[in-house]
Amino acid sequence: MPLVVYNTLSRKKEDFKPIAEGRVRMYVCGPTVYDYSHIGHAKTYVAFDTIARYLRWRGNAVRYVQNITDVGHLLDTGEDRILKGAARERVEPMEIVERYTRAYFEDMDALGVQRPDISPRASAHVPEQIEIVKTLIEKGSAYEADGSVYFDVSSFPAYGKLSGRKIEELEDGTRETVRGEKRHPEDFALWKSAAPEHILRWSSPWGWGFPGWHIECTAMSTKYLGETFDIHGGGVDNIFPHNECEIAQSEAATGKPFANYWLLTGSLTVDGVKMSKSLGNFVTIKDLLKKHRPEAVRFFVLSGHYRSPIDFSSEALEAAGKGWERLTAPAFAVRERLRSPDLPAGSDAAMLKVAEEARAAFVSAMDDDFNTPLAMAGLFDFNKIINTLLNGDAPILRGTLEAIDSFYRETGGQVLGVIPEKASSAANGEREAGLIRLLIELRAEARKRKDFAAGDSIRKRLADLGVTLEDGKEGTTWKL
RNA sequence: GGCGACGUCGCCAAGUGGUAAGGCAAGGGUCUGCAAAACCCUCAUUCGGCGGUUCAAAUCCGCCCGUCGCCUCCA
């Protein structure tokens, strides 16, 4: 069964065939680093991280490029976002860039998002951007006007093919203020001239200025992935104008298709409405992680399909946290069992078959346009069987436990990233674990004496510290 | 106004022609010194509404109602 993906360009599901078999080149629009990352970023980048992880797990060599926008992305007031941040915090623009780039990676690391293979910065690729602008002028797709350069949309008939817009319809909605020196209101800037007060500016054939927002993605994606590559990703809210402009300028410059598959994530709302600073419902990843474990955030994101919109609320995240506990409990329990030195050798054929079937169900779900909700449902089904097995009296053979463990590690661990390596990631190392085991032993002795008051007191006080004890057939286990 | 996505149990969410997965919450039971966890049972004759196509529709078509996103910066 082939991997099938929904291609926004064709508006239907297609078999995924990379240009070079076994190699996938993907580009995802990255953040503009002028403030802390928010939960919308979390949704988009966890989704693409999972897609990249799955493609790798399926045996592809993936090159994942995700830009860092540190220049040229303007607010509707015409101000550069980076410069605005610098003025707000009274520091150099590049300090802003550095500060929020680091914060971005901290947040992504916390969420288990594996770093892209290349994270190119727009400001470090200005020469490449200038070259493309020159090419576009030579080919008659762009024109200079008073030190700025604009893309001539009328020169590219396919403009609108991704977002389904028509040029004629766009004219009406365009505001007077942005017309100015453009020939057509829907033309967009490739290069903007900048006065000396504008700190972020470079010398170009058209004088001092800075690159337009869209051109960086063309420059950096084609530089590292080639003129035509496999997957272009991003949030659906960038489909217009950003993605549309990328296609126009890239294909006009190279004369070749830009990206073969467009994968766009659904947007995220908070309590039913779009997140925005003015509404006061802006949630940063840092704030979120103060209250919730990172795996719960990942679980929340992956419990909806990447193309669907999701609505964030505290209740939803708490439910996700509980779901995550149930999802991971048997996986950790199996690992705990495997630490036992005297497990009977061999394996149970029926259980190996169950694990094989679960793996097949997982692959079939993920092969269908990365259907993570369905894939996780499959893990829950598998859990039911494993929980029953763990609760039973029959001894479990080492080979069986190993097969179960490797299933969890691959699907929940390597691909979905919701089952971490260590059962208690929040635990403070071995010393803390040792102390807890010591208390468990003391409690066991008290209970042997039927001194339940002492035993319950230990359990209660550990619970107050966030450590939950669970008494089972194999003794007491703990979790945070 | 235009473009797009969507409306499935109290909440979240799969399913896109063959007779409604899974999670959270809720109720009952088993186990337990008591818990917790786990397991078992219950929980949508029904998929926004109305028509149509079909042997058969949540799934296809039409109309209507509603929600969200984009059209100006956003992942």
Q: How many helices (H) and strands (E) does chain A have?
A: 15, 15
Asked if the structure places residue A308 within a domain, the reply is no
The answer on A196 and A85 residing in a single domain is yes
Q: What is the distance between the alpha carbons of residues A301 and A46, in angstroms, rounded to a whole number?
A: 7
> Which residue is listed with tokens 């030195």?
A341
A8 touches strand B (CB under 7 A): no
Asked if the structure places residue A320 within a domain, the reply is no
pLDDT (0 to 100) of residue A170: 56
The distance (Å) linking the CA of A438 with the C1' of B43 is 43
Interhelix angle for A314-338 vs A294-302, to 10°? 110
Q: Across the strands, what pairs with A215?
A: none
The answer on A241 and A136 residing in a single domain is yes
Separation of CA A364 from chain center: 22
The answer on A146 and A100 residing in a single domain is yes
Asked if the structure places residue A174 within a domain, the reply is yes
The answer on A256 and A161 residing in a single domain is yes
From the CB of residue A453, how many other CB atoms can be counted at a distance below 10 Å? 8
Q: What interface predicted TM-score (ipTM) does this complex get?
A: 0.92
Query: Structural domain of residue A451, as residue ranges?
Result: 429-479
The answer on A457 and A403 residing in a single domain is no
Q: What is the mean pLDDT of each run of 10 residues along chain A (480 residues)?
A: 89 92 96 91 95 97 96 72 85 91 95 96 95 96 93 91 76 48 86 88 94 94 96 92 94 95 92 76 89 91 93 89 92 86 89 94 95 95 92 88 95 95 55 80 87 88 83 78
CB-to-strand B under 7 Å, chain A 232-271: 234-242, 265-269
CB-to-strand B under 7 Å, chain A 180-209: none
The distance (Å) linking the CA of A422 with the C1' of B53 is 56
φ, ψ dihedrals at A386, nearest 5°: -70, -40
The stretches of A309-348 forming alpha helices (DSSP H) are: 314-338
pLDDT (0 to 100) of residue A427: 42
A310 touches strand B (CB under 7 A): yes
The answer on A100 and A191 residing in a single domain is yes
Asked if the structure places residue A280 within a domain, the reply is yes
pLDDT (0 to 100) of residue A430: 64
Domain's final residue, options A388, A415, A442: A415
Asked if the structure places residue A423 within a domain, the reply is no
CB-to-strand B under 7 Å, chain A 76-95: 76, 81
Q: Across the strands, what pairs with A6?
A: A13
The answer on A34 and A155 residing in a single domain is yes
CATH code, domain carrying A119: 3.40.50.620
A164 touches strand B (CB under 7 A): yes
The distance (Å) linking the CA of A12 with the C1' of B55 is 30
The distance (Å) linking the CA of A469 with the C1' of B36 is 7
Which nucleotide has the least CA–C1' distance to A371? B14
Contact between A337 and A401 under an 8 Å Cβ cutoff? The reply is yes
Contact between A374 and A363 under an 8 Å Cβ cutoff? The reply is no
A384 touches strand B (CB under 7 A): yes
Asked if the structure places residue A310 within a domain, the reply is no
Angstrom distances, CA of residue A269 to CA of A51, A255, A279, A307, A391: 22, 38, 12, 14, 41
The answer on A433 and A411 residing in a single domain is no
A294 touches strand B (CB under 7 A): no
Asked if the structure places residue A380 within a domain, the reply is yes
pLDDT (0 to 100) of residue A168: 64
How many structural domains does chain A have? 3
The answer on A141 and A59 residing in a single domain is yes
SS3 A311: strand
